[in-house]
Structure 1
Amino acid sequence: MRIIIETSWDVVYLCGYFSLVVYFQYAIFTTIMYTYMTKLDPSVGPTSFGLAVTLHGIGHCLGALAAAWWTKKRYKGKKPMCVGYLLMLLSNCLFLLADHVPAETSAFYIMLCRFLGGLGMGNTSTLRTTLTAHSMSDDRAKAMSVFIGGRALGLILGPGLQLIFLFLGDTGLQLIGPLHIHSHNAAAFISIVLNISAIVALFTVYHEIERNGNSCSQRSVEDDENWPRPDKLAMFVCMLTRYCQNFTYYAIETLAPAFMMMMFNMERDSAVGTMSIIFFIAGVFALSLYSTFVFTDVARKLNIGKVNTISLIIFIIYVLTTYQWPYIPTNVVVNTDGTHGGCDYSLYSWCLGLPKTSQAFFYIGYIIAFGGCVPFINVGDATLYSKLFNPVGQALEQSLYDVSQVFARVVAPVLCTAIYASFGPQRVWELLFAQLVVVTALWIAFAHRMIPLRPKPRPVFYLE
């Protein structure tokens, strides 16, 4: 039996808000975590920061799989999403107390907080499943734009608010007793408020979808037997694209504070402030594109194959233009105390003779690649992936799609910080280039396979 009803836009827009809450927390904590860890324990380096980011990714991976199992078993998303926000709430409460943890254990304490936050962030797989089930195929690109636009807005507001929090300084304002709100933990306070608002919305506005078609919610429901087997190659290319794009993003984002201090001889606070501004500008650019997708029919008319291929090529150009080419005449500043900028030769033997990347290319290229191209890849890739399966009951498939992103978040920080510490930024850039070239080649070679799945033709009977 086939039941077709129009898209539930109230649930779609609510999922957009939920996405904002989740990714706001990810963005703002990533912005301040490295400098906060070095403040609590000056001996902490990029490797410890990379490990903290990785543990958050591992938590996200485990949380996504657990939420997918729970959602697929019950065909309901409210409880998995609620548990996710409760875990993030607990993580934020613990983060507020980090100032009172002994310095020698502060790095491990921050890692624990981020791991719990990652577990809670696993509810993104349930959000994608809910969004797909509540939207018609023709509206899927627009619905995905709402969801990913919420994510983009969260990624903007996180660094943007952190710029304001910098005015609180290291001491900040006294909250209760010895507890102070300052520039490094104000993120946890505002995140607590957002998590509570999401939980309230779940129990007051959100409504479930029923498997048997008796719910008042609006969606498209298809019987499993009406759909052929999905194209596993297309599924793999979509997941690999998501992995590669996010690997590039997390690698540059993880290394950005240390890289900017080293490459451009910047102070710690200056590097954080500049990074926040660049993230904010790129986020505004991306959000303007998402808004175009939501309020116009541009998303429906996208040729996903061509758009993804062109976007990936622009990423390749960004990596090439910011590479430390040996013919560049200017080298980085070398010293023996990198805490105030410059390349610390006592820690990194590769500092001597390292060419200096163009600061303008690094900033402008980031805005173009991550602000201008990522929206097209995010919407196109996610829309195509959701159309490779039956629109109802995609919990497992969507969790795997999330895991492809999470795997990049797990691997990129540890691998890239290790390569950076041992061999310098050149080897990191070469790794990014190789991955982008492989994924781009797959889109070109298998363009004829990257198409939506269609239901089987229904038998037609004639009465004589």
Structure 2
Amino acid sequence: MSPSAVRKPSMSSSSRSCSSSNSVFVLITDWRSVFFIASVVIIDSIKITVVQMNSWPYLKSMDSNVDEEFYGVAKSALTLGTITASLASGYFSNYISHTKPSILAGTLLMLLCCILYANMEMLAEQWRKWAFLTLELLFGWAGGAIVLWRTQLAISSTDRDRQKATALVSIAFNLGFIIGPLIVLSTNYVFPSSLPLPWHAHLNIYTAPLYVQALIGLFSFGLLAVFFDGRMHGAANANARQRHGGKPRADIDGTERAPSNLAVPFREAPKALRPPAKLDPFAIFACFVARINFCAFILYLISLSSPYAMTVFGWSAVTGGMGLLISLGYSMRISSRLKERKCILFSLCLMLTFFVVSFPWPFLGTQMPRPQFRQNLSQVQRQFESFSVNETSTLVLASNGCDRGQYSWCDSTPAINVYVYHVALVLCFGLAMPVGQMNLDTLYSRMLGPIKQGTMQGIFFSVGESLILFGPPLINFAYQTYGPRPIWVMEILLFSFGIFLWLLCYQRLVPASESLKLANIRERTTKCGPLPSGKNDGGLLHVD
């Protein structure tokens, strides 16, 4: 539902002379829609922790012969589905002026994928990895449709409340990262061993959270189907008629106007007479590069963080997945009142620092641990990590490490400190990512201004996801062949370029509403004279 439109009366006869021909409307943020968007985001973030962040150890438990290269291909399939679905749903939502069908379809598809994902073991072992690949593509389609909440958030909130609304959604996103690990930990406590199900599947640390996620998704789907209104046109007008005794008001698009904070109401030209807002290509490009920077860190998380931790720190598959989930559970958020451009710059610098301090510098003397083996496990334990040395051996892998036979760089690459790595990871993912992405989403939507944002939001989302599409196979090939060093160098160079470009375009990164307000100030000064004595421009002539 779009922001509500309320007619603002003239304040004096002098101001009436400048606004009599065109009524002024003040928009009100539709917080009901914002709260429903937050519920969608919670479900999506829970899916990331329950499904995506635990997918490598789960796949390894399903097929012990699968390697990192195939895992990278599967993650590319996930991203391909996300890109295609986000572009298609963005265009489709603009065409029908409605976001609800796409969001509902994505929620339903994600629910079905969780159920299928939890029952992959019913297939023969040689088919499980292909089922995993197919489900990753379907998960991508679901996520790409759900990501349309970005457009709905811009429609439902005014420019003045955009940062508050985005902060609320950011809280929901981080809350999902807390709920997700709690679901995994609680199911691990309730199901310490694998329990058989009547249809020849099992409940364990990997599958039980998926069933919980499916139930949450079903509840969310019901709420959205009954109460959510994703219309781009007409909703504000209907709400305005309801608020004003059934009298019709002018048709207002939720993104057409931002409320003024001027001391004197400014005159708005009719829609047909107002030229469309011109986008600054350099500022838009800077936002795209910043989006790529954030996705570069996500690329590392989803493609390499679990295998790298299992190799460098010698963790098992279960420990590797759980360690990352616990780190994600410390997601934090700072006040949304901080300036957007400064928050984004701070986040980029913090993520650059992560790769600098976690780089395997030559002066580090700690060697990579070797894999450790133990005697054959029981049948119940084997379902978690049946990774035997060969078909006849009674030894199984007790803890991972850097296999000298698999990686030629084990002896030449030092191991980093586990505490330094995880403190930096928690700060980066728990602080830099939520703060940076929240403010980047806010700033970008405000820079777009009074347009239908479905297509532009789809492009913005897809630009970063393209890196995740082509990145996993390349990053896993580089990791297997050359080790972590070239990957870290690439990340450092990419973040350095992003910071440089952000500083270069810093003065251009201004919301469209500021340009509109400045234009109205100039128009009012020209036609109606300067502002009355004691009045000011509301601080619009200076943007922090």
TM-score, normalization: structure 2? 0.78
Match of 1:83 in 2: 105
Q: Deviations over 1:241-269 (max 9, x none)?
A: 11111211321342122111211122222
CA distance in 2, matches of 1:169, 1:190: 13
Match of 2:256 in 1: 221
Gaps of 5+ in 1: none
Cα RMSD, aligned residues only: 2.4
Displacement of 1:210: 4.5
Match of 2:279 in 1: 230
How many residues in Structure 1 have an aligned counterpart in Structure 2?
Answer: 450
CA distance in 1, matches of 2:356, 2:70: 28
1:329 lines up with 2:361 in the alignment = no
Match of 2:126 in 1: 104
1:455 lines up with 2:516 in the alignment = yes
Higher helix residue share = 1
The correspondence of residues 242-257 of structure 1 with structure 2, limited to 5 A, is 242-257=291-306
Q: Deviations over 1:252-293 (max 9, x none)?
A: 342122111211122222222222211212x2x24xx3xx43
CA distance in 2, matches of 1:70, 1:258: 38
Match of 2:317 in 1: 268
1:58 alignment partner AA: L
Is the CA contact 2:312–2:416 (under 8 Å) kept in the aligned structure 1? Answer: yes
Q: Deviations over 1:18-72 (max 9, x none)?
A: 1111221122112321111111111112222222222111111111111111110
Which of 315-324 and 122-131 deviates more? 122-131
Q: Deviations over 1:55-100 (max 9, x none)?
A: 1111111111111111100111111111111211221222132011
1:428 lines up with 2:478 in the alignment = no
Displacement of 1:208: 3.5
CA distance in 2, matches of 1:125, 1:261: 31
Is the CA contact 1:96–1:189 (under 8 Å) kept in the aligned structure 2? Answer: yes
1:349 to 370, 395, 408: 408
Structure 1 residue matching 2:435: 3-state secondary structure: helix
% identity of equivalent residues: 19
Displacement of 1:179: 3.3
Match of 1:120 in 2: 142
CA distance in 2, matches of 1:8, 1:132: 11
1:440 to 478, 481, 499: 499
Displacement of 1:220: 4.9
Change in 2 beyond 3 A, CA 1:210/1:197: same
Is the CA contact 2:306–2:320 (under 8 Å) kept in the aligned structure 1? Answer: yes
Displacement of 1:304: 2.4
Is the CA contact 1:168–1:183 (under 8 Å) kept in the aligned structure 2? Answer: no
CA distance in 1, matches of 2:456, 2:448: 8
CA distance in 2, matches of 1:152, 1:408: 23
Match of 1:139 in 2: 161
CA distance in 2, matches of 1:434, 1:198: 41
Displacement of 1:385: 0.3
Is the CA contact 1:266–1:341 (under 8 Å) kept in the aligned structure 2? Answer: yes
Is the CA contact 1:311–1:373 (under 8 Å) kept in the aligned structure 2? Answer: yes
Structure 1 residue matching 2:277: 3-state secondary structure: coil
Change in 2 beyond 3 A, CA 1:418/1:168: farther
Gaps of 5+ in 2: 1-21, 241-251, 258-270, 373-388, 390-395, 529-544
TM-score, normalization: structure 1? 0.90
Match of 2:464 in 1: 405
The correspondence of residues 66-81 of structure 1 with structure 2, limited to 5 A, is 66-81=88-103
1:14 to 11, 22, 36: 36
Q: Deviations over 1:370-420 (max 9, x none)?
A: 212222211221111001123451000111121133223323322221211
Displacement of 1:462: 6.9
1:33 to 20, 33, 55: 55
